[in-house]
Amino acid sequence: MKKISLLLIVMMLITASSPAFAKGTQLIQIYSTLPSVSYSSSSAVSGRVVAGASVMVKLNNIKIYSRPVGAVGYFYTPVKGLKMGSNKVTITAYKGGHNQTITGIITRRNKNTANSVKSLNIPVKNAISISFK
């Protein structure tokens, strides 16, 4: 219990000392569910960034969407070409000298396994990560 408490305190201190939190630069809010499961070769990613920020979306490290966002800050893009298994989606917002990246997994499954409870298990390790820079 002491190790867990100490770990939580260290994590809170690191988070509190992060420049992103100190300057209030959280740039992205994702509306899509990540991690997720798809039974076809396409899905979609949507969300909102702060006004004046630009956004870029990558699928398996290949850029599929990139543009400055208007004053409203909403974005939406289809994610096409999902391969069977795990597909890494990386969403990065940029504003000034700050950026925030959210990485998630979309798992493409075979349609024949759609009714199988076992097929709905999503790997939790590295399923989603959020970073501020």
Domain presence at residue 14: no
pLDDT tens-digit map of 31-60: 999 899 999 999 999 999 998 899 999 999
Domain presence at residue 125: yes
Domain presence at residue 81: yes
CB 35 within 8 A of CB 128: yes
Domain that holds residue 86: 24-132
Domain presence at residue 12: no
Helix residue ranges, H only, the chain: 2-17, 19-22
Tell whether the torsion through CA atoms of 79, 70, 32 and 105 is positive or negative: positive
Of 6-15, 39-48, 124-133, the one with minimum mean pLDDT is 6-15
How confident is the model over 89-110, as a mean pLDDT?
93
Residue 72: name the closest of 93, 92, 53 by CA: 53
At 88, which CATH number? Answer: 2.60.40.10
Q: How many domains does the chain have?
A: 1
Domain presence at residue 2: no
Of residues 33 and 72, more confidently modeled: 33
Per-residue b or e along 7-34, where b marks 16 or more CB atoms closer than 10 Å to that residue's CB? eeeeeeeeeeeeebeeeebebbebebeb
Domain presence at residue 3: no
Domain presence at residue 62: yes
Domain presence at residue 127: yes
